[in-house]
Structure 1
């Protein structure tokens, strides 16, 4: 992903997540802070088939949606998978798995990967070794993600 991809990323994000709008500045911020976690899969005619965004965080501190971070925490101990989104017409082709594997490899030096599952997708993430963390203390941090938000954690090791 490059900073110039932000309009196409926002357009796809708005299609996939119509209730969770995030400004282009959020995606530019993430790409600038952690380029290795900002991926795109080009589609036809300047569109995107998919994107993925991840970056280092403190393990149990998912940032609120639509928030520019400005900097990464120096004591980050997990890679937060902010989003892996495929355009509806590109789903069912196994396109997400290579991006997820790449992000999990990037998470290995930190010791963990985390994410917030929405839309009931937690079983999808469980296939990649993520487990639900049902801790009431996380509720305020999950508020911007909606009522069905589930915090998930995957412990990692060097090399995946």
Structure 2
């Protein structure tokens, strides 16, 4: 496993929470709400377009733009989804070695996902759990 030290949690929270922070810190930042700028920084680091970013955190591009213009913080659920995307992406880029290979895996149909692309389920809690479980299986040499 090639480790990449990109802390996507630090990026999405503007440094308020890192991969070394405790769960209470993450809960507090999710409750407070993330900024759209932090979420957009995450998308930029992951090389995700605005549509994929919005889809993955359970919102729309229009909502992101509106909240950005109004300087409003995102709601707890969308913020929590963004934190989870950041955590999974840290795990995925660590396993695959870089963001390019992580994105290639997310965009490749896989039998573990009913022959769909893993990114097609990333917007749901169960989908993210499945992605984490498959990544863990890859790390430990389990295959489907």
TM bucket by the smaller chain?
under 0.3
Q: Which has the higher strand share?
A: 1
TM-score (norm 2): 0.25
Greater RCO structure (CA 8 Å; 6+ sep): 2
TM-score, structure 1 normalization: 0.23
